Chain A
Amino acid sequence: MNEIESNLRQRARSLLAEGKISCFIGWGPTRFPDRALPKFIFKPEEAEQLVYNEHCLNLLAKYTLAFQYSNEVIGLAARGCEARAINRLIADGSLKRDNLYLVGIHCEGMKENGSPAEKCQYCCHRDPVIYDELLGEPAGGPENLPRFAEVEELENMDADARYEYWQGQFAKCIRCYACRNICPACNCLECYTEQYRTGWQGKQANTLENSLFGFTRAYHIGDRCIECGECERACPMDISLMKLNRKLVKDVQELFGGAEAGLSAEDIHALGSYRKEDLEEFM
């Protein structure tokens, strides 16, 4: 890990010094030893502030949207999840590949409060799928993890129990929209929740409106979710959002096939395309 950290600092320094990039996004220290936060580096001499350890939980990809409309090239430390999120943003037309310089890192999973982070639990893409240069060697990672086990458990429950489960989950929601703000698939310029004059979504923070927000958001990103787990991590009320997202990911794979989201920048998402041979249930 320390080797990656020093390499990351050195690469950020030289890229900035060469003028190849105007900003490098990595992780920086906090006043807590077991926390790291995203860090924007603009000058070569600042590169020493970068850290890389097992506490780098934040997904960096979405911060590149801060430079969405400038034509500057942005450097980014890219693990598996960042790389897939970048593919997601490029495929959605929010970023240009030419404006990014990705320094790939192999990731062994992060730690949260001393134990393996929940969001890394089912990660099958520990190597970046898109990068300009790779620090170290791709090392692969576990495959075929039972990431849909929780979803199946819920699917096997009684419908009323399931309804109660989700209403219970969304009763906790405070509608801070942290899940949406951190999600790399939620990159609309204007979210439907903000279009209050059309009345898509009530603003009340009651269980019903919260659950409608939760289901609608899950559906909006259902075919594009890269399963980075950031929504669940960001949620201050510990709502099991990934159980909802993974359900849609599972259904999209079962119904329409295709690769997982974010593996390529030319991703065509399932609901934006069709095949004439699609499953026919409505005859």
Chain B
Amino acid sequence: MANLAPNGLEAQAQNGKDNSNLKPQNSKPGMQSNPAEWEPKILAFCCNWCTYTGADLAGLNRMKYPDNIRVIRVPCSGRVNPQFIFRAFQKGYDGVLVCGCHPWDCHYTAGNYYTRRRFLLMKRLLEYAGIDPGRFQARWISGSEAAKFRDTISKVTEEIKALGPNYKLKEE
């Protein structure tokens, strides 16, 4: 068995050399040369108690939705600091989605009421700053609304695809 180890190592090294194309490619959508291949990158903040559970249910039900979203699980939609939105655009996301429980449904009683006020204002500020209002969206999706999660993701992805890559407030 002992003589297998060098072989194994060699094989690994060989692999690394030959299959260099398996290394992660630069996946920044804006960096791709062909605009037809461009896919938007969307950041979704999902509340642990509703939307994240809803997304889980969508998965359990084998629902298909675009893979353009990256989900960040947050304890409550009230956890989402408006600055996260600026940060997401800065770091190259083409759209941001904030999802939480329906207004009367918050696990922490009132977190999403604050979220609602916060992002009503934030949405207008982003628009004033010159960012397309479609790039930032918020939705209430409960734990049982797997279909709504799927539809929201599909719709938002489509909308942002139509808007094209975001260059505003983006880091060089």
Give the segment of B42-50, B54-62, B66-74, B124-132 that binds chain A: B124-132
Tell whether A215 pairs with B86 under 8 Å between CB atoms, given A274-B113, A278-B116.
yes
B13 contacts the other chain (CB 8 A): no
A154 / chain B contacts, CB cutoff of 8 Å: 128
Query: In the bound complex, do residue A159 and residue B83 qualify as a contact, i.e. CB atoms below 8 Å apart?
Result: no
Q: Produce 1/0 per residue, B135-161, CB < 8 A to A.
A: 001111000000000000000000000
Total contacts A to B, CB within 8 angstroms? 97
Query: In the bound complex, do residue A222 and residue B121 qualify as a contact, i.e. CB atoms below 8 Å apart?
Result: yes
Tell whether A281 pairs with B120 under 8 Å between CB atoms, given A159-B131, A165-B130, A247-B128.
yes
Cβ distance A38 to chain B, nearest Cβ, rounded Å: 32
Query: In the bound complex, do residue B125 and residue A219 qualify as a contact, i.e. CB atoms below 8 Å apart?
Result: yes
Query: In the bound complex, do residue A222 and residue B120 qualify as a contact, i.e. CB atoms below 8 Å apart?
Result: no
Query: In the bound complex, do residue A280 and residue B121 qualify as a contact, i.e. CB atoms below 8 Å apart?
Result: no
Q: How many residues of chain B have a CB within 8 Å of chain A? A: 34
A212 contacts the other chain (CB 8 A): yes
Within 161-215 of A, Cβ neighbours of B (below 8 Å) are at 161-167, 192, 200, 208, 211-212, 215
A63 to B103, CA, bound (A): 42
Query: In the bound complex, do residue B86 and residue A274 qualify as a contact, i.e. CB atoms below 8 Å apart?
Result: no
B17 contacts the other chain (CB 8 A): no
A66 / chain B contacts, CB cutoff of 8 Å: none
A255 contacts the other chain (CB 8 A): yes
Which of B114, B169, B172 sits near A211, CB closer than 8 Å?
A: B169
CB-nearest residue of chain B to A214: B129
A66 to B92, CA, bound (A): 42
Cβ distance B57 to chain A, nearest Cβ, rounded Å: 19
B110 / chain A contacts, CB cutoff of 8 Å: 274
Tell whether A216 pairs with B129 under 8 Å between CB atoms, given A276-B103, A282-B138.
no
Which of A163, A200, A219, A283 sits near B121, CB closer than 8 Å?
A: A219
Cβ distance A174 to chain B, nearest Cβ, rounded Å: 20
B117 / chain A contacts, CB cutoff of 8 Å: 255-256, 270-271, 273-274, 278
Cβ distance B156 to chain A, nearest Cβ, rounded Å: 12
Q: Produce 1/0 per residue, A260-283, CB < 8 A to B.
A: 000000000011111110111111
B125 / chain A contacts, CB cutoff of 8 Å: 215, 218-219, 222, 247-248, 251
B131 / chain A contacts, CB cutoff of 8 Å: 159, 163
B64 contacts the other chain (CB 8 A): no
Query: In the bound complex, do residue B171 and residue A252 qualify as a contact, i.e. CB atoms below 8 Å apart?
Result: no
Q: Which residues on A are within 8 Å of B, measured CB to CB? A: 154-155, 159-167, 192, 200, 208, 211-212, 215-216, 218-219, 222-223, 244, 247-248, 251-252, 255-256, 270-276, 278-283
Q: Which are the 5 A-B pairs with shortest beta-carbon distances?
A: A163-B130, A274-B113, A162-B130, A282-B138, A251-B124
Q: Known pairs A247-B124, A251-B124, A255-B124. 18 more at Cβ < 8 A? A: A163-B130, A163-B168, A192-B83, A211-B169, A212-B90, A215-B129, A216-B82, A218-B125, A222-B121, A222-B125, A252-B121, A272-B114, A273-B117, A274-B114, A278-B116, A278-B120, A281-B138, A282-B138
19 pairs from A and B in contact (CB 8 Å cutoff): A163-B129, A200-B83, A208-B90, A208-B169, A208-B172, A212-B90, A215-B125, A222-B121, A248-B121, A255-B121, A256-B117, A270-B121, A274-B114, A274-B116, A279-B120, A281-B120, A282-B137, A282-B139, A283-B139
